[in-house]
Structure 1
Amino acid sequence: MKICPKCRKQYDDTWQVCLNCKCQLSIVPPELITELNVLKKLAGSLLNRVKLLEEKIEAFVHNRQIPLSKEAEQMPKEKNQVKQTEILSKDKDETLQNQSLESRIGRIWFNRIGALAIIFGMGFFLKYAFDNNWINETARVSLGLLAGFLMIIAGDFAYKKNFKIFSEGLITAGATTLYLSIYAAVNFYQIIADIPGFIFMAIVTLFAATFAVRFNSKRVMNFCILGGFLTPFFISVKSISPISLMCYILLLDIGVLWVGYFKKWGFCNFLSLILTYSTYFIWYFSSYSSQYFVATEFFLSIYFVLFSIIAVFYNFIQKQTTVKEDIAVIILNGIFYFLANYHLLVNKEDILSAHPGIFSILLSCLYLIFAYYVFMRTGKKDRNLVLSYLSLTLLFATITMPLELKQCWLTLGFITEAVILLWLGFRTKSNGIRYFGLALAGFALFKLVLMDFQLSFYSSDLSAVYSMFNQRFISYLWVSAGIFVCAYFYKKYKNNIAQEEKYNSTFLIIFALIVLLLGFTFEIDAYFACISSNAHKMQANQYSGKIVDSAVLENIKQFSISAVWLVYSLVLIIFGIVKKFRALRILALVIVVVTILKVFLIDISELNKIWRILSFMGLGCVLMLTSFMYQKYKDKISGLGAGK
């Protein structure tokens, strides 16, 4: 029985109107209810199938097998057909993959190997004919040219019949045969002069490139690029004037970049860049003379501008994000251009040869302008392009320092740049720039401690040694200050760093303090080593009024080093307690332990009675004072146990 929605009176399925309130009753036919139940079951079945398909897609994307869900395993028997279909589909996919590998070998690799075999076969046939004098020299070249043209025509015919890969092999083999035939005509038989042969090879390159564009074939285009750049070497670079060679390379680059721009073939641009500078360097080291300096510099700059703007065209005109091929072209173009100009400038007697760093800093400024311009135009839309220009800016700025600065000034330049890079990395949120700056700071520290250790340590001018702020001590002070600034940046921008970098600030402070302590130690050692040498005894007599005994100077030096270490550690302990900096206190304790070992192992045997007494008394006082401070502030220190 059912209930009337208006009067709440019960009625059976035969009523169409409520007999009590005359309300129209909605009657659902039994067949409609049956259809509704069927639809519910079908919807549940479809949901299970969709879930199963999602699992299969995920397994395909991640290239791994995953177990089916419990719901999928508990599907009704009618879903077994779905499983069987998927198993068949999987087998079919594996078959297609096997067929794809088989097809790839049969269609592509056999085609390329076949084209190579035809080229070798033609060469062996011609050599056999030459050895047996079947045909004269002109006929030999004509036969090679005819074979090349026939293969190109056959390739064109095969392309029209939709045999693209087969046609690529024929055209490549045909163009290679033409190259070899012209090469033989020029170098072996002297049938054709150098310049006409060069022109004919350039025409073959242009002809093959036309087919590459027409067939939309990157493989044929790459072959054309390689053939085009090898043409001058087929003829002999020395027989071509430098201006003609550079003009030819320029026209070849323009053509390649034009095709690569419209076809979006980034690898063609990369290949053209590599071959352009390779051709230049081969010519430079074999045929360059100073009379071609202006022309060489002009064409190098044209090549540089040409490869520099290609990524900008992609970005600004076609609104494309810079890809890895474009980034490689930008970075390698800058490096090759600098290397080429460096060799040009160092061999020329002018201000740039004496100061090659001027050129590198100009390049650094140029790339900084590029980075700023691209950033203002695109913002963060093409971050890779901006970072590429910034990387070159930093690279050439770094190169400038070893070119212009010497000895410790180079170290100061490195640490200064490291601070700037670290700040720039935090400001731009670029991990790469930040890591590069940190690595540069590490190199500056390494160079200072291990490479600059003996620079200006023993000055011939004793008055310079008496000056505390000499070149040596300024180096340690500057590097220490630079590392402190780096630590400050890590502390200030701690919310912008990864979890594994959170202790970098502490480590940097420790390194800075160690560098400063080394500076004090080496300054004391250099001072006493200088005035104790035989060359300075008389000069020391003028300052002190009497000849100073070397043993006495050694006692004073060892005592001074121990005293400085103890005072330094005491200051660190005080700061560690006041600033609640646990790492500072631990470093101070390590320095105290090292001082104790020095006093008991070195000072006790080398110092005389008076200085030995002073050394032990000083050590005892500092240790007692340290113990007193730890006793007095024990509650505060124990509460800071987990501090910085």
Structure 2
Amino acid sequence: MDFKKIQKRLDELEAEIVSLKKEIFTYSKNQTDLEPKEAASTTFVSPSPTLETLPKKRSPEWELFLGGNFLGKLGLFSILLASVWFIKYAFDNRWVNESGRILIGLSIGFGVCITGLQLARKKFRILPESVLGTGFSIVYLSLFSGYYYYDLFSLSETFLYLSLLSIFSSGLAYWIRKEILYIFALIGSILSPVLISQGENSYQFLFGYLVFLNILLFLISRKIPWIVSSFFLLIANFALYHFWAIKNINQSGFIVPFSFINITYLLFAYGKVFFFPKLLQKNENSGGIFPQWNWIFYPIFLVLNSLSFGLMGYMQIEETYPKLSSHFILFGAILFSLWILISRKKSDFFYPSQLEIFEMIHLYLLLGFTFAALLNFSEGNWLTFAWIIFAGVISLLSSKFENTHLRYVSAGFWILALFKLYFFNPMDDVNRLFLLNERFALYVLSSLFLFGTYYIQKNKDSFWFHRGFIYMGIFTFILGTLIDVYHTVHNEHYRNLGYSYVLAFYAAVFLFIGFKYSFRSLRIAGFIVTAVLVGKFYFYDIWTMSKIVRIIAGFTLGTGFILVSLFYQKFKDKIINYQNTSGLLLLFLAIFASLFASPLNAEKIDTKGYRYYKEIQIPKLSNPTGSEEGEKLFYGRIKLDEDIVRHSGINDRRIVYNDRTIPFISRNVMGAYEEGEKK
């Protein structure tokens, strides 16, 4: 709903009302000037009461509801209840036989109907439809009782009588313009085949009868914009088909139920495209239920009709021709695209706001059905690839044509596609060449689509939501690289080093591009990646380093980022205008200086800083871990002698092998000064 257009229309109407008041005032003044001067004093103030006359205060709505509506219906219900009790009393006392009972019921029902018609002729506003509905209900019950309890009518006769009664009541509802009466008739029409059914699978008759009811409503909809009854019949179609399909779908043919699904959908859709919007423009009293809510009912009905069509059709084809189920979903998507094209050619049938709502709903349905069809057409990596392509194309088109609603929808598709890429990628356990594999290609493809979506609209719209595309693209690109490092590098130390190199590389690239080309989003991303790199150092890497390396790394990182801060503060004007980029070299030096704090440097040690050094010989142990022979991983226990214990504290000891520190756990036990122990 375009509220701006509605507000504009209201402003125009208000301006017209003001203009009409001015014309009335001018006309009254001119007429006064033509009067004799003696009457001038009496007519001078005549326009004022005309303009300031207040309308009569209406009686409260609750009073009208209670007095004119609720009490009347309560009285009718009381009469109906008393009639049932009287008839039951007469039946219990055998005052009348079986045929007489049915005739009495029919007479009472038709008598109530005639009373309702008389009330309608006398222009009563509320009671007629209630009285007529009560009368037709009595007639329905009488006919059904004659068939079910007393066997006075055959099955075919009963169905004929009920059908004729439904047609008559529908025609009467159309004649007096009362939708509530038509709903009463519709209830009887729908219950007729259900009540007289004996459990047989007469699906040809059932669906043929339902098609007849839908055609009848379609003919009425050409003249009157009734939508509540359309809701009722749509739900009845779906419910009856669903309950039939539970027991009989495997025992029945395909053509009849599938034709019913398509015919009912097309009747509803055609009526709501070509008739309903145009009838609403006439603003005639149609006798509909809650006509002021039609602007809400209309889009909801379009969605429910399409979803009902999709669910019933998919259920029917899945049970009969399962290989064609995805083709049916694609057929639905094509059908929705045709409705969009038809609505644009027939735009004179709609208000501008109605046309926009109609196109938007069917566009969303088109995208949803296409996305679901891809789920059936492909699987595995191809499904991930298809979803990425689909979401990418939608987001690019939304940016190209500046369609904000479509961009929000594409964000939903992106969430599904990226969720599958991140967590359900079947290639995660496959060894491939680093960065030259299908897994990384999917991450790159996703990032390129997200970057393109943002780049197209970055100068058109500055809304924060749209910047989420570039941030998600950056995250996807970095995550894809880190995952490739994880699956390509098998050594834990080199893998940890690779993570640091990847983060440092992307931080440098993003900051360089952000400063060089005035790309604020990339600058922010660069700083976030740098912060992650620093956090990795302080909360993970630093605990594996020696004291000397910790000191060097701390001074290096601290100095580097202080220089970056000074660079921003001193050259902020030049950074904004990007007239001087010589300071970028200093920025890169500060970032890459942080690599001195990498996990590999922490493994090397310079023994010159230690005062006591002793070589320890240990016997070669067997490999209990089952690892490969080339890795030579051993676990053992080393007992410390008195010299080592005397010259070192428990936190100052290092075990060095081939100029690299070896992780260990140190523990003091009883008699540690005599025979120390180290694990």
The TM-score, its normalising length taken from structure 2, stands at 0.69
Q: Name the counterpart of 1:7.
A: none
The Cα of 1:561 is off from its aligned counterpart by: 0.6
Give the helix-richer structure, 1 or 2: 1
How far 1:364 moved relative to its partner? 0.8
Cα gap change, 1:128 to 1:471, in 2 (>3 Å) = farther
Q: Secondary structure of the residue that 1:263 maps to in structure 2?
A: coil
Give 1:308 shift.
Answer: 1.9
Amino acid across the alignment from 1:122? S
8 Å contact 2:159–2:192 — kept in the other structure? yes
Q: What's 1:297 paired with? A: 258
Match of 2:151 among 183, 190, 193: 190
- Distance in 2 of aligned mates of 1:373 and 1:267: 25
Tell me by how many angstroms 1:562 deviates.
1.1
> 1:371·1:390 contact (CA, 8 Å) conserved in 2?
yes
Q: How does 1:444-455 map to 2 (within 5 A)?
A: 444-449=417-422, 451-452=423-424, 455=426
Shift of 1:583: 3.8
Q: Which amino acid aligns with 1:521?
A: L
Match of 1:537 in 2: none
Counterpart position of 2:486: 525
Could you tell me whether the CA contact under 8 Å between 2:225 and 2:276 is conserved in 1?
A: no
Q: Does 1:97 align with 2:59?
A: yes
Larger deviation, residues 632-641 vs 372-381: 632-641
Q: Which residue number in structure 1 is paired with residue 344 of structure 2?
A: 375
Q: Which amino acid aligns with 1:600?
A: Y
Query: Contact between 2:109 and 2:135, CA under 8 Å: does it hold in 1?
Result: yes
The Cα offsets for residues 286-317 of structure 1, whole Å up to 9 and x where unpaired, read as 43334321211122221122122112332798
Change (3 A) 1:521 1:278: same
What is the Cα deviation at residue 628 of structure 1? Answer: 5.7
Aligned partners of 1:563 and 1:618 also within 8 Å: no
Q: Offset of 1:220 from its aligned partner? A: 0.7
Contact preservation (8 Å) 2:399, 2:453: no
Decide whether the 8 Å contact of 1:229 with 1:275 is kept in 2.
yes
In the other structure, the counterpart of 1:243 is 204
Deviations 1:120-170 (A, max 9, x none): 333333334444444333332222122112212222233334445333222
Mapping 1:95-174, distance limit 5 Å: 96-98=58-60, 100-163=61-124, 165-174=126-135
SS in 1 for 2:96: coil
Corresponding letter in the other structure for 1:173: T
The residue aligned with 1:17 is none
Q: 1:407 to 1:150 in 2, by over 3 A?
A: same
> Which of 321, 326, 329 is 1:357 aligned to?
326
Task: Tell me if 1:571 matches 2:501.
Answer: no
Which one-letter code corresponds to 2:507 in the other structure? S
CA distance in 1, matches of 2:92, 2:69: 35
Alignment pair present for 1:344 and 2:316:
yes
Q: Is the 8 A contact 2:400 2:456 kept in 1?
A: no
2:455 maps to: 488
User: CA 1:292/1:473 → structure 2, altered by over 3 Å: closer, same or farther?
Assistant: same
Partner of 1:473: 440
Cα distance in 2, alignment partners of residues 108 and 619 from structure 1: 83
Q: CA contact under 8 A between 2:225 and 2:280: conserved in structure 1?
A: no
Give distance in 2, aligned partners of 1:489 and 1:124. Answer: 75
Q: Which amino acid aligns with 2:510?
A: L
- In 2 relative to 1, CA 38–489 (structure 1 residues): closer, same or farther, beyond 3 Å? farther
The separation in 2 between residues aligned to 1:143 and 1:433, in whole angstroms, is: 62
**1:569 to partner: Cα distance:** 0.9
Tell me, yes or no, if structure 1 residue 637 matches structure 2 residue 539: no
- Match of residue 428, structure 2, among 457, 472, 495: 457
CA-CA distance at 1:108 after TM superposition: 2.1
Q: 1:285 to 1:491 in 2, by over 3 A?
A: same
- Relative to structure 1, the CA distance from residue 598 to residue 122 in structure 2 (aligned partners, 3 Å threshold; closer, same or farther) is same
The 5-angstrom pairing of residues 160-559 of structure 1 reads 160-163=121-124, 165-236=126-197, 238-239=199-200, 241-314=202-275, 324-349=296-321, 351-352=323-324, 356-378=325-347, 381=352, 382-407=355-380, 409-426=382-399, 430-449=403-422, 451-452=423-424, 455-459=426-430, 462=431, 465-494=432-461, 502-528=463-489, 531=490, 553-559=491-497
Q: What number of residue pairs does the alignment pair up?
A: 531
Relative to 1, partners in 2 of residues 1:387 and 1:46: Cα closer, same or farther, differing over 3 Å?
Answer: farther
Structure 1: how far apart are the matches of 2:177 and 2:428?
A: 68
Q: Alpha carbons of 1:279 and 1:514: their partners in 2 closer, same or farther (altered >3 Å)?
A: same
Aligned residue type for 2:225? K
The letter for the 2-side match of 1:343 is: M
Structure 1 pair 233–48 and aligned structure 2 pair: CA distance change class (3 A): same
**Deviation of residue 601 (structure 1)?**
2.9
Quick check: 1:209–1:224 contact (8 Å CA) kept in 2? yes
In structure 1, stretches of 5+ residues that fail to align are 1-31, 54-84, 495-500, 532-552
Q: 1:182 to 1:592 in 2, by over 3 A?
A: same
Partner Cα distance (1:391, 1:149) in 2: 49
Indicate how the Cα distance of structure 1 residues 320 and 398 shifts in structure 2: closer, same or farther if over 3 A, else same: farther
Shift of the 225–172 alpha-carbon distance from structure 1 to 2, 3 Å rule, reads same
The question of whether the paired residues in 1 share the 8 Å contact of 2:399 and 2:454 is answered with no
Q: Deviations over 1:180-232 (max 9, x none)?
A: 12222222333323332222111121121222122222221121122211222
Name the structure 2 match of 1:18.
Answer: none
2:525 equivalent in structure 1: 587
Q: CA deviation at 1:339?
A: 0.4
Assess, with a 3 A threshold, how the Cα gap between structure 1 residues 367 and 154 changes in structure 2: closer, same or farther. Answer: same
Using the size of structure 1 for normalisation, the TM-score is 0.73
8 Å contact kept, 2:223–2:279: no
Aligned runs of 1:36-55 on 2, under 5 Å?
Answer: 53=52
Does the C-alpha gap of structure 1 residues 166 and 37 become closer, same or farther in structure 2, counting only changes over 3 Å? closer
Residue 177 of structure 1 deviates from its aligned partner by 0.8
Q: CA deviation at 1:571?
A: 1.4
Any conservation in 2 of the 1:300–1:337 contact (CA below 8 Å)? yes
Tell me how far apart the structure 1 counterparts of residues 137 and 472 of structure 2 sit (CA, whole Å).
Answer: 63
* Deviation, structure 1 residue 378: 2.1
> How far does residue 48 in structure 1 lie from its aligned partner after superposition?
6.6
1:599 aligns with 2:548: no
> CA contact under 8 A between 2:330 and 2:370: conserved in structure 1?
yes
SS of aligned partner of 1:457: coil
Q: Determine the C-alpha separation between the residues in 2 that align with 1:36 and 1:640.
A: 82
* Alignment partners' CA distance in 2, 1:208 and 1:505: 56
For the residues of structure 1 that align with 2:359 and 2:343, how far apart are their CA atoms?
6
Q: Which has the higher contact order (CA 8 A, sep 6+)?
A: 2
- Measured at CA, do residues 124 and 492 of structure 1 come closer, stay the same or move farther in structure 2, by a change above 3 Å? farther
1:340-364 CA-to-partner distances (Å, cap 9, x unmatched) read 1111122224531xxx222111211
Distance 1:211 1:111, change over 3 A: farther
Q: CA deviation at 1:394?
A: 1.7
> Is the Cα–Cα contact under 8 Å of residues 488 and 505 in structure 1 kept in the other structure?
no
* Structure 1 CA distance for aligned equivalents of residues 158 and 276 of structure 2: 40
Asked if the contact 1:566/1:622 (under 8 Å) is kept, the reply is no
